[in-house]
Amino acid sequence: MLIVSSVVMAFTSFQRFEREVPLDLEPPRPLALSVIVPETKVLIPKVIVKNHKAFLDAVGLRESSNRYYIVNKYGYMGKYQFGPKTLRSLGIKISKEEFLSNPQMQEQAMHLLLRSNYKNLKKYIEKYDGKKLYGIKVTKSGILAAAHLGGAGNVRKWFRRGIDFKDGNGTRISSYMKLFANYNLQI
């Protein structure tokens, strides 16, 4: 109650003060203010370089957050999440521990897999690169990323019949085709 009455008294005295001001006075003039304008920054558009290294970094980021030592719940290993079967098909016969502790071997395995998938999917790359199929712009890098996710055989099924394979995590090869499109790969 004390607070309310203080506010009422302050408001009442303000009103009284306002009534006591003579009407013939000029309104106060605004003060001249200096306004400091911060330097204008020139925004340069970020150019995204989509080269071979950027592709490898992007795939590694998506697969494992670029961690060479990681193993997922399905047993896929390293930066690019290789399975033992894929490594054997590439002629890599080392233990899980050796593979995980050897980043150079993981990079070599990825290089070998890209070359193998390119060889297996070359006719699809040549026929469809730059064209739309099933609502997706097809590119060489997108095809090779999809093959990394689901294998060259599942990519062929996608081209022939539109079957969109998905891995154990529910990731579809068509999502890799979109996500990794338009990289300039040296294979």
Per the structure, the complete domain to which residue 113 belongs is given by: 52-179
pLDDT for residue 62 is more than 80: yes
- pLDDT tens per residue across span 169-186: 999 999 999 999 999 999
pLDDT for residue 73 is more than 60: yes
Q: How far apart are CA 118 and CA 85, in angstroms?
A: 19
Q: How far apart are CA 147 and CA 133, in angstroms?
A: 16
The pLDDT, as a whole number, for residue 43 is 74
Q: How far apart are CA 71 and CA 52, in angstroms?
A: 25
Q: CA 185: distance to chain centroid?
A: 19
- Structural domain contains residue 60: yes
Q: How far apart are CA 93 and CA 5, in angstroms?
A: 88
pLDDT band at 48 (very low <50, low <70, confident <90, very high): confident
- Structural domain contains residue 6: no
Tell me the C-alpha to C-alpha distance, in Å, between residue 177 and each of 33, 93, 106.
58, 30, 22
Tokens found for residue 64: 């494992």
Cα–Cα nearest to 159, from 182, 186, 136: 136
Angle at 127 between CA 123 and CA 132, to 5 degrees: 135
Q: Is residue 103 within a helix (H) or strand (E), and if so which, with residue range?
A: helix 103-128
pLDDT for residue 13 is more than 80: no
| Domain of residue 124, CATH code | 1.10.530.10
pLDDT for residue 14 is more than 90: no
- Structural domain contains residue 17: no
The pLDDT, as a whole number, for residue 7 is 42
- Structural domain contains residue 36: no
Q: How far apart are CA 54 and CA 110, in angstroms?
A: 14
Q: Rounded mean pLDDT of 147-163?
A: 97
- Structural domain contains residue 152: yes
- Structural domain contains residue 102: yes
- Structural domain contains residue 5: no
